[in-house]
C-alpha cells in the first residue's frame, strides 16, 4: 500500500498534477521520456491565453518543484511495466543514460567543439544539434544530455577526455511503489508525411504550425526570425491550411480544438515581424471557443489577413521553392490555385499513446485518447485525455491531482 | 439582396440515399471534393455544390445539372473525403435517378432501379421468345429441329426474317426513339431559365458532337485526365483499358450487325451482296465479329475485376453497375456458348442457350434508355451541350 502518486509525463499537465498533489503532502514521482521537463509548451514561442513565453509559466512550475522535496522526477525515463491494483501499484521504470554529471555543468565549449550533428527533434528538423546538447536555455533540469549515437569519431575521442561526461553509462531500471497513476503523456503533432495530398512533408517551404512556433521562438533555429527554411528569406505572402489532417476520418477523426487559435496567434507573430505581410487562412469552420472569440475578431480586423472558406486539398511545389495550394472558395464557388512564399499546415494533436499502446493497463479510445480507468486509480490529464489548450491542460492536471489525492486518502 | 426560399424535397433526398448516396448527409461542405476532382473546372467546380443541393433536397437543381455528366466517376473525391460522404457515389446515384425518371414507360425505370424488378425485366423477353419458340415448334413438329443437311441452324426455330429481325428492328428503333426523347428532354433541362442569348457564330450541334466523339470518346482522354488529381495515397485502377475495349467492341459488333442486316435484306434486292447465315468461320465479317466478342470479354473482365477490387468503404457499387456488367456477361457468355454447342453439335444445349442469348440481348437493347448504358447517349448529350453553350 502506498500514498505516493506516479505521474507519467512531465509536460504542463503532469507537472501541474504533480505539484498540486505534492503541495497537499503526497509523494509524487514524475516520469518524463525526454531529457527535460516542460513538454510541448517548452517548444512554443508564446502560449495562450496571455501570450506568455513558455519560460514564464514553466519557470513558476519548476520553482515549485525545486522547493518541494516531495516531488521527485526522472527524465529520460519511461514506465515499462505497471502491476498491482488501485492503492498498490508497482511501476517498473527504465532510465536511459543521460551520460553527463549530476550537477549543472556548462558544456557550451565542449559542445561547440563537437563535429557530429543530427536533426534537432526539438526544432522538428529545422536545425541540427550536437551530440551534447540542451534544447532550451531555461531547461529543467539544467543539465546537458549526451546522445552517444550522434558522436562522430573525433567527438568520441574528445568526449572520452572530458570531465563530467560518462559516455559508457548504461540504462538502468528502478521500481517504484505508488497508490495511483496520473497519465499525462500528452500529444504529438500529426505526422505530415501521411498527408499525401498536402505534399507529405516533401514540399519545400510547406511547414507545420509547430515548426512555425520554433521559427518564431527566440530560442529556435532562427533566433525568432520567421523565414523560409529553404533560403532564410522572410516570406511576404503566407497561407495557413486549417484542419490539415484533422476532422478527417482518413487521419485524425476529431477537431483538435486549438489549431484555429494557434493560427490566429501565428498571424500576429507574422504581422509583428512585418506589418506588410499578406496572410490567407483556408478553413472549413473557424473555431474560437469561449472568450477566444475576441482573438478571432482581432485577427479578422487585420486588413492583411483574409479568410477563405474551403479546405486546401492539394499542395504542390511551385517555382522558386514557393508553394501552390488548390482549394475551392466554397462561398463563391470558385476553385483557387494560388502560390505562396510559405504555407503552414495547421496540423492537429494526436495523443502520444496512439503510436503504440504501452505495456500498461490503460483503456484507450479508437483515436488513442485515454478513456476510463478511473475505477482502477488511473487518471488521465491534459492532452492524453483530449485536445486542450494550456489553460485547460493546467485545470485538468489539477483535477487529476484532486482525484488522485482523494483516492489514496480514502483508502 | 435577392431572397430565395428553398423548397427542399425530402423524398428526393431519401430516394437519392437509397439509390447509393446513403452517406451524403455526412458532408460538411469542406470542399475537398472539388479540389480532388481533376476534371472539375475552376469556375463553379463540382461535386461540392451538388452535395449541398442533394443534402437540401433541391431536386430541380441537381437533375438539370450538366456537371453530373461531366463527372467520369474516378472516385478521387470519395477517397479524399474527410467524412466518408462519398460524393462520387452521390453523383452516380443522381445519374441513376435520371435513368429512372427521364423517359416514358416509367415502370421500366422502376424495375430497373432495384434488384426486385429483375424478374419482371427478365420475364418480358422470356415470354416473347418462348411464344415464338412454341409457335415454330408446332410448325416444325419438334422443339429442337435440325436443318435438312443435319446441321444445327438456329434459324430453323428463330427464323430471321419473321421473328428475330422484326422484333429486334422494332426494339432497336424504339429504344433509339426513347433515347432521343430522353436526350432532348435532358437538353431542355440543361438550358437555364429564360432566354439563352448566344453571342457570336454558332455551329450546328453535329459539329460539336463530332468534336466530342473525336476528342473524348475515341481517345478516352478523360479517363487519363482523371488520374491527374491530388495524390490520394490510394490505388484505384484506371478504367481506360476496360472501358475502351468495351466501346470498341460495341462499335465493331454494331458494324458487323449492320453489315449482316444489309447483306441479308439488301441481298433480297441485289443478290450479289447477299450474306448467308450462319457465316463460315473464315468469312471476314465473322472474323471481325469474333474479334469484337474477344474484345468484349477482355473489357468486361477488366471492368469487373476493377469493380470487385474497389475498396467498399469508399466506392460502393449499386444495382445499376452490377446490372450492366451482369447483362453484358450474360450476353457474351450465352452467345459464345451457343456458338460452341452449335459447332460441337450439341442440339438441345445449343438451342436453349441461343434462346437465353436472345432474351439477354433483348434486355440489353430494350431497357437501354433506363439502364446505366444510357450514359453513352445522355453523357454525350451533356458533353455536346457544354461544348456548345458552356456550363450555366
DSSP string of B47-106? Answer: THHHHHHHHHT-HHHHHT-THHHH-----HHHHH-TT---HHHHHHHHHHHHHHHSSS-H
> Residue B133: pLDDT above 90?
yes
The pLDDT confidence band at residue A303, using thresholds 50, 70 and 90, is: very high
Closest chain A C-alpha to B388 CA, distance in angstroms: 22
Mean pLDDT of B155-159: 86
Q: Choose the mutation target among B26, B27, B35 for the interface with A, i.e. most A CBs under 10 Å.
A: B35
* CB of B37 less than 8 A from some CB of A: no
Cβ–Cβ < 8 Å for A403, A86: no
Residue A342 burial (C-beta neighbours within 10 Å; 0-12, 13-18, 19+):
buried
Percentage above 70 pLDDT, chain B: 99
Residue range A137-146: average pLDDT? Answer: 92
> Which of A381, A257, A239, A383 has its CA nearest to residue A311?
A239
When comparing pLDDT for A374 and A358, which is higher? A374
The DSSP result for B172-231, as a single string, is: HHHHHHHHHHHHHHHHHHHSPSS--PPPS----HHHHHHHHIIIIITTTHHHHHGGGS--
pLDDT of residue B196 exceeding 80: no
Whether B153 and chain A come into contact, CB under 8 Å, resolves to: no
- Write out chain A residues lying below 8 Å of B51, CB-based: none
pLDDT tens per residue across span B42-74: 999 999 999 999 999 999 899 999 999 999 998
Q: From chain B, pick out residues whose CB is under 8 angstroms from the CB of A324.
A: none
pLDDT at A125 over 80: yes
Structural Rg of chain A based on CA atoms: 22
| Average of per-residue pLDDT values in chain B | 90
- pLDDT over 90 (residue B314): no
B313 near A CB under 8 A: no
**Interface probe with A: pick from B27, B30, B45, B86, most Cβ of A within 10 Å:** B30
- Distance, in angstroms, between A240 CA and closest chain B CA? 15
Instruction: Tell me if chain A has a CB within 8 Å of the CB of B31.
Output: yes
Contact (CB<8Å) A328/B28: no
- Percentage of chain B exceeding pLDDT 90: 60
> CB A328 to CB B231 under 8 A?
no
Q: Is the pLDDT of residue A411 over 60?
A: no
Which residue of B lies nearest to A328 if distances are taken between CA atoms?
B31
Instruction: Name the residue of chain B whose CA is nearest to A251's CA.
Output: B82
d(CA A340, CA A354): 33
Largest CA distance in chain B: 84
The answer to whether B41 contacts chain A (CB < 8 Å) is yes
Q: Is the CB of A196 less than 8 angstroms away from the CB of B231?
A: yes
Among the partner residues B29, B35, B49, nearest to A313 by beta-carbon distance? B35
The whole-number average pLDDT for the span A229-254 is 95
Could you give all domains of chain A from N- to C-terminal order, each with its CATH number? 5-96+171-188+350-409 (3.50.50.60), 108-160 (no CATH), 191-347 (3.50.50.60)
Residue position matching grid coordinates 509536460: A11
Q: Do A334 and B42 touch (CB under 8 A)?
A: yes
Mean pLDDT, chain A, rounded, equals 93
How does pLDDT run across A314-343, given as a tens digit for each residue? 999 999 999 999 999 999 999 999 999 999
- Whether residue B310 is predicted with pLDDT greater than 90 in this model: the reply is no
pLDDT value for A361: 83
Nearest to B45 among A251, A314, A328 (CB): A328
* pLDDT mean over B254-283: 84
DSSP character string of A30-95: EE-SSSSS-GGGGG-SSBTTTTB-HHHHHHHHHHHHHH-TTEEEESSEEEEEEEEETTEEEEEEEE
Query: How much is the pLDDT for B316?
Result: 87
CB nearest B230 (choices: A197, A310, A330): A197
Contact B45 A334 (CB under 8 A): yes
pLDDT of residue B280: 82
Query: What would the mean pLDDT of B287-299 be, rounded to a whole number?
Result: 91
* Per-residue pLDDT band at B392 (split at 50, 70, 90): low
Query: Quick one: pLDDT band at residue A310, thresholds 50, 70, 90?
Result: very high
Q: Which single residue is written with the C-alpha cell 470479354?
A: B297
Asked if the model's pLDDT at residue B194 lies above 90, the reply is no
Are the Cβ atoms of B42 and A335 closer than 8 angstroms? yes
Are the Cβ atoms of B83 and A249 closer than 8 angstroms? yes
Question: Do residue A243 and residue B45 have CB atoms under 8 angstroms apart?
Answer: no
Q: What is the pTM of this model?
A: 0.90
More confident residue, B197 or A223: A223
Q: How far is residue B242 CA from its own chain's centroid?
A: 14
Cell numbers given for A216:
518564431
**CATH 1.10.599.10, applies to B10-102:** no
The neighbouring-strand residues paired with B150 are none
**Is residue B195 scored above 80 in pLDDT?**
no
In this prediction, residue B339 has a pLDDT band, given cuts at 50, 70 and 90, of: confident
Closest B-chain CA to A199: B231
Q: How far apart are CA A210 and CA A191, in angstroms?
A: 11
Contact B82 A335 (CB under 8 A): no
pLDDT above 90 for B149: no
Distance from CA of B65 to the nearest CA of A (A): 15
Interface membership of B32 toward A (CB under 8 Å): yes
pLDDT in tens, B352-365: 999 999 999 999 99
Kindly list the residues from chain B whose CB atom is less than 8 angstroms away from the CB atom of residue A337: 42
**Closest partner residue to A310 among B31, B36, B84, by Cβ?**
B31
B6, pLDDT greater than 90: no
Split at pLDDT 50, 70, 90, the class of A140 is: very high
Contact residues, B window 70-89, toward A, CB-based 8 Å cutoff = 80, 82-84
Q: Are strands A172-178 and A88-95 parallel, antiparallel or unpaired?
A: antiparallel
Is A250 in Cβ contact with B35 (below 8 Å)? no
- Which of B23, B33, B34 is the best mutation test for A, with the most CBs of A within 10 A? B34
Quote the minimal CA–CA distance from B32 to chain A in Å.
Answer: 5
B314: closest chain A residue by CA = A250
What ipTM was predicted for this assembly?
0.88
**Nearest-CA distance A331 → chain B (Å):** 10
Q: Does B49 touch chain A (CB under 8 A)?
A: yes
Q: Could you give the percent of chain A with pLDDT greater than 90?
A: 83
CB spacing of B40 vs A310 below 8 angstroms: no
pLDDT band at A226 (very low <50, low <70, confident <90, very high): very high
- Chain B positions touching A247 (Cβ under 8 A) are 28, 30, 82-83
Residue extent(s) of CATH 1.10.1060.10 domains in chain B: 10-102
Tell whether the model's pLDDT for residue B277 goes beyond 80.
no
Amino acid at each position: 500500500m502506498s500514498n505516493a502518486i506516479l505521474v507519467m509525463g512531465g509536460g504542463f499537465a503532469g507537472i501541474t498534477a504533480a505539484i498540486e498533489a505534492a503541495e497537499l503532502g503526497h509523494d509524487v514521482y514524475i516520469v518524463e521520456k525526454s531529457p527535460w521537463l516542460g513538454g510541448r509548451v517548452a517548444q512554443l514561442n508564446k502560449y495562450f491565453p496571455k501570450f506568455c513565453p513558455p519560460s514564464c509559466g514553466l519557470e513558476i512550475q519548476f520553482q515549485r518543484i525545486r522547493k518541494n522535496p516531495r516531488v521527485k522526477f526522472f527524465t529520460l525515463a519511461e514506465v515499462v511495466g505497471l502491476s498491482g491494483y488501485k492503492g498498490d501499484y508497482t511501476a517498473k521504470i527504465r532510465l536511459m543514460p543521460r551520460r553527463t554529471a549530476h550537477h549543472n555543468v556548462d558544456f557550451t565549449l565542449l559542445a561547440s567543439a563537437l563535429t557530429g550533428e543530427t536533426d534537432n527533434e526539438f526544432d522538428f528538423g529545422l536545425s541540427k544539434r550536437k551530440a551534447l546538447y540542451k534544447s532550451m536555455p531555461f531547461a529543467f533540469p539544467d543539465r546537458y544530455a549526451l546522445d552517444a549515437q550522434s558522436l562522430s569519431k573525433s567527438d568520441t575521442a574528445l568526449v572520452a577526455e572530458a570531465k563530467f561526461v560518462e559516455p559508457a553509462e548504461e540504462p538502468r531500471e528502478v521500481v517504484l511503489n505508488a497508490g495511483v497513476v496520473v497519465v499525462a503523456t500528452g500529444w504529438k503533432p500529426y505526422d505530415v508525411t501521411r498527408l499525401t495530398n498536402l505534399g507529405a512533408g516533401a514540399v519545400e517551404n510547406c511547414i507545420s504550425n509547430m515548426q512555425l512556433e520554433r521559427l518564431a521562438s527566440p530560442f529556435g533555429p532562427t533566433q525568432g526570425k520567421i523565414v523560409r527554411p529553404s533560403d532564410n528569406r522572410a516570406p511576404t505572402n503566407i497561407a495557413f491550411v486549417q484542419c490539415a489532417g484533422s476532422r478527417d476520418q482518413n487521419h485524425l477523426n476529431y477537431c483538435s480544438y486549438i489549431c484555429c487559435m494557434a493560427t490566429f496567434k501565428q498571424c500576429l507573430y507574422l504581422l509583428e515581424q512585418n506589418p506588410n505581410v499578406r496572410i490567407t487562412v483556408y478553413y472549413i469552420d473557424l473555431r474560437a471557443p469561449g472568450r477566444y472569440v475576441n482573438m478571432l475578431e482581432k485577427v479578422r480586423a487585420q486588413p492583411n489577413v483574409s479568410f477563405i472558406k474551403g479546405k486546401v486539398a492539394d499542395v504542390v511545389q511551385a517555382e522558386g521553392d514557393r508553394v501552390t495550394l488548390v482549394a475551392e472558395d466554397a462561398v463563391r464557388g470558385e476553385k483557387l490555385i494560388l502560390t505562396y512564399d510559405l504555407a503552414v499546415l495547421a496540423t492537429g494533436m494526436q495523443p502520444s499513446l496512439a503510436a503504440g499502446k504501452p505495456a500498461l493497463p490503460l483503456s484507450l479510445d479508437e483515436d488513442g485518447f485515454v478513456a476510463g480507468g478511473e475505477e482502477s486509480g488511473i487518471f488521465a490529464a491534459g492532452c492524453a485525455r483530449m485536445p486542450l489548450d494550456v489553460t485547460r491542460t493546467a485545470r485538468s492536471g489539477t483535477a487529476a491531482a484532486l482525484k488522485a489525492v482523494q483516492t489514496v486518502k480514502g483508502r | 439582396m435577392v431572397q430565395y426560399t428553398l423548397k427542399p424535397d425530402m423524398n428526393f433526398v431519401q430516394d437519392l440515399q437509397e439509390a447509393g448516396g446513403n452517406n451524403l448527409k455526412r458532408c460538411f461542405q469542406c470542399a475537398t471534393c472539388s479540389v480532388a476532382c481533376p476534371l472539375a473546372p475552376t469556375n463553379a467546380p463540382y461535386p461540392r455544390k451538388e452535395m449541398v443541393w442533394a443534402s437540401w433536397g433541391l431536386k430541380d437543381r441537381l437533375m438539370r445539372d450538366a456537371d453530373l455528366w461531366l463527372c467520369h466517376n474516378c472516385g478521387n473525391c470519395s477517397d479524399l473525403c474527410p467524412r466518408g460522404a462519398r460524393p462520387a457515389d452521390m453523383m452516380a446515384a443522381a445519374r441513376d435517378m435520371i435513368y429512372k425518371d427521364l423517359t416514358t414507360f416509367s415502370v421500366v425505370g422502376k424495375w430497373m432501379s432495384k434488384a426486385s424488378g429483375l424478374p419482371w425485366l427478365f420475364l418480358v423477353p422470356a415470354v416473347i421468345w418462348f411464344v415464338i419458340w412454341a409457335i415454330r415448334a408446332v410448325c416444325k413438329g419438334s422443339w429442337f429441329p435440325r436443318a435438312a443437311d443435319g446441321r444445327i441452324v438456329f434459324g430453323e426455330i428463330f427464323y430471321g426474317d419473321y421473328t428475330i429481325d422484326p422484333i429486334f428492328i422494332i426494339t432497336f428503333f424504339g429504344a433509339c426513339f426513347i433515347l432521343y426523347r430522353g436526350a432532348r428532354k435532358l437538353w431542355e433541362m440543361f438550358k437555364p431559365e429564360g432566354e439563352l442569348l448566344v453571342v457570336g457564330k454558332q455551329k450546328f450541334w453535329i459539329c460539336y458532337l463530332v468534336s466530342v466523339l473525336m476528342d473524348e470518346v475515341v481517345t478516352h482522354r478523360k479517363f487519363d485526365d482523371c488520374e491527374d488529381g491530388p495524390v490520394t495515397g490510394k490505388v484505384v485502377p484506371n478504367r481506360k483499358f476496360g472501358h475502351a475495349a468495351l466501346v470498341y467492341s460495341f462499335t465493331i459488333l454494331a458494324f458487323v450487325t449492320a453489315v449482316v442486316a444489309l447483306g441479308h435484306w439488301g441481298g433480297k434486292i441485289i443478290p450479289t451482296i447477299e450474306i448467308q447465315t450462319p457465316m463460315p468461320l473464315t468469312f471476314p465479317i465473322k472474323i471481325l465479329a469474333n474479334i469484337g466478342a474477344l474484345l468484349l470479354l477482355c473489357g468486361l473482365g477488366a471492368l469487373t475485376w476493377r469493380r470487385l477490387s474497389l475498396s467498399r468503404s469508399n466506392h460502393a457499387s449499386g444495382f445499376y453497375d452490377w446490372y450492366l456488367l451482369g447483362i453484358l456477361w450474360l450476353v457474351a457468355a450465352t452467345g459464345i456458348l451457343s456458338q460452341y454447342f452449335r459447332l460441337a453439335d450439341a442440339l438441345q444445349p445449343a438451342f436453349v442457350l441461343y434462346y437465353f442469348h436472345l432474351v439477354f440481348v433483348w434486355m440489353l437493347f430494350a431497357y437501354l434508355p433506363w439502364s446505366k448504358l444510357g450514359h453513352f447517349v445522355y453523357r454525350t448529350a451533356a458533353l455536346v451541350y457544354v461544348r456548345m453553350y458552356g456550363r450555366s
